[in-house]
Amino acid sequence: MRARTTVSMTMTACAALVVCACGPGDDKGDADTKPSASTSASASADPSAPSSPSSSARPEKPSATPPTGDQPAPKTKEGAIKRYEQYLHALGREDINTVCEVAGPAAKKAENQGLGPCTSTYTAVFKMISPAQKTALRTATVDPGRVVVRTPAKVEMPVAAVKSEATFSESDLGSYTLEYLKDEWYITD
């Protein structure tokens, strides 16, 4: 069952990457030419180079979490947990931009396997989550004792680590792998 859930969530998350790369509200453009606002600074080869004006001029929905700016996320278990909690809260709020940002690499894999863009895929996922589960996800936390650190740059978040007022199983939330890429934690599997 874990494999099936992982595959379906990976596909869903991979679709999210495409939308994030295109930017909020623009799912038709070239993903390589429009990095998301939160990754544009870290994607630059020269970290001291100014970001392009187009990335800051694009209108986007405000996220519930503040942007990290030019500061890299901590490459720690705690940093991975914070990022995963950001994803869970966004999932509960149906914040497609944040969900697609965090799940970007997994969404790209899923898209390569034939799924559609993140926005359409996660719209379907949002419909599968009950109202009670959405409410619980908005304040869900992660039990650090259940998180498995595989390498300094790879952390597994089992569904059993999610602490909330609702119960989640592998079939309705699943377990995830987060990896540290380009100075931030992303769901990759």
Task: Say if CB 34 and CB 26 are below 8 A apart.
Answer: yes
Measure Cα distances from 58 to 24, 36, 62 in Å. 8, 10, 12
Q: For 71-114, how does the pLDDT look when each residue is reduced to its tens digit (9 = 90+)?
A: 899 999 999 999 999 999 999 999 999 999 999 898 888 888 88
Residues in the chain: 189
- pTM, 2 dp: 0.65
Which pLDDT belongs to residue 35?
36
- For the chain, what is the HEC assignment? CHHHHHHHHHHHHHHHHHHHHHCCCCCCCCCCCCCCCCCHHHHCCCCCCCCCHHHHHCCCCCCCCCCCCCCCCCCCHHHHHHHHHHHHHHHHHCCHHHHHHHCHHHHHHHHHCCCCCHHHHHHHHHHHCCHHHHHHHCCCEECHHHCEEEECCEEEECHHHEECCCCCCCCCCCCEEEEEECCEEEECC
To the nearest whole number, what is the mean pLDDT of the chain? 73
Q: What angle do CA 110, 63, 115 make, to 5 degrees?
A: 15
Which pLDDT belongs to residue 69?
57
Bridge partner residues of 187 (DSSP): 178
- Domains for the chain: give ranges and CATH numbers: 77-187 (3.10.450)
**179 against 30, higher pLDDT:** 179
**173 against 15, higher pLDDT:** 173
Average the pLDDT over 39-65 and give the result: 38
Rounded CA separation 99/63 (Å) = 10
Which pLDDT belongs to residue 146?
97
Which pLDDT belongs to residue 41?
35
Q: For 106-150, how does the pLDDT look when each residue is reduced to its tens digit (9 = 90+)?
A: 888 888 888 888 888 888 889 999 999 999 999 999 999 999 999
Which pLDDT belongs to residue 4?
33
Least confident of 45-59, 86-100, 144-158, 175-189: 45-59
Confidence check: pLDDT of 47 > 70: no
Average the pLDDT over 26-38 and give the result: 37
Rounded CA separation 105/18 (Å) = 9
